Amino acid sequence: MNRPRNPAVGAWRELHSALLDLTTPTVCASDAESFTDPAPEYVAYLATLCTGCPVFALCNTFANVNRERDGGIWAGKHRQPRRGRPAAEPKERTAACST
């Protein structure tokens, strides 16, 4: 079996396969919107729901390998976007030679 070059792809495949094998959906799959864009007052509560999840380890691996920083809850952790200097505006490209 060929391993993907991008480790995040492999981690996603493992997580996705495990999710498909479950007979009962995970809490986050049942209420994905709450976990992907949690209201600040519910972050701690939602994170506790991950305790005992059958795919917890795979979820954590994927989130770490993929450097998830989308603001969602992954494996019981609120993965907040990185703060810091905003991305630089792209510079306007000019032609190498002009006529």
Q: What is the pLDDT of residues 18-76, one digit of tens each?
A: 999 999 999 998 888 889 888 889 999 999 999 999 999 999 999 999 888 888 899 99
The answer, yes or no, to whether residue 17 has pLDDT greater than 60, is: yes
* Of residues 89, 71, 91, 92, the one with CA closest to residue 80: 71
Residue 52, phi-psi category: left (phi > 0), alpha (psi -120 to 50), beta (remainder) = left
Are 48 and 8 in contact by the 8 Å Cβ rule? The answer is no
Give pLDDT, residue 89. 57
Query: How far does Cα 29 stand from its chain's mean position?
Result: 13
Taking the whole predicted model, whether its pTM rises above 0.95 is answered as no
The answer, yes or no, to whether residue 94 has pLDDT greater than 50, is: no
Within 13 Å, how many C-alpha atoms sit on residue 28's CB side? 25
For 79-83, what is the mean pLDDT?
Answer: 78
